[in-house]
Amino acid sequence: MRGKIIKIWYDKEEDYLEVLFERRKGYFRETENDAVMEKVDEEGNVIGFSILEVSALKKPLSIEFKSRVAAVQQNTKADVG
């Protein structure tokens, strides 16, 4: 069985980290943290993220990403019951 490939890329000169869970078409959008952008596909599923100025972080960074599709599916199930 073949495992899932996660791409991790760091550019030292730009101090930029990018992590991609899926290699699909998508776009980056802002998050609550100014340094973090999430990459989503056309349906709103999180397929990666990026962090700017990684070396400037003074404490551990913790952030959660929520998929819009998952939230819609959960609401639909609740409405049916």
17 confidence band (pLDDT: 50, 70, 90) = very high
- Rounded to an integer, the average pLDDT of 54-81 is 63
Can you give the pLDDT at residue 41?
Answer: 93
Amino acid identity, position 81: G
> Is pLDDT at 34 greater than 50 in this prediction?
yes
* Residue 25 DSSP class: S
For residue 3, what are the contacts with CB-CB under 8 A and spacing of at least 6? none
Provide the token pair at 43. 């349906």
**pTM for the whole thing?**
0.73
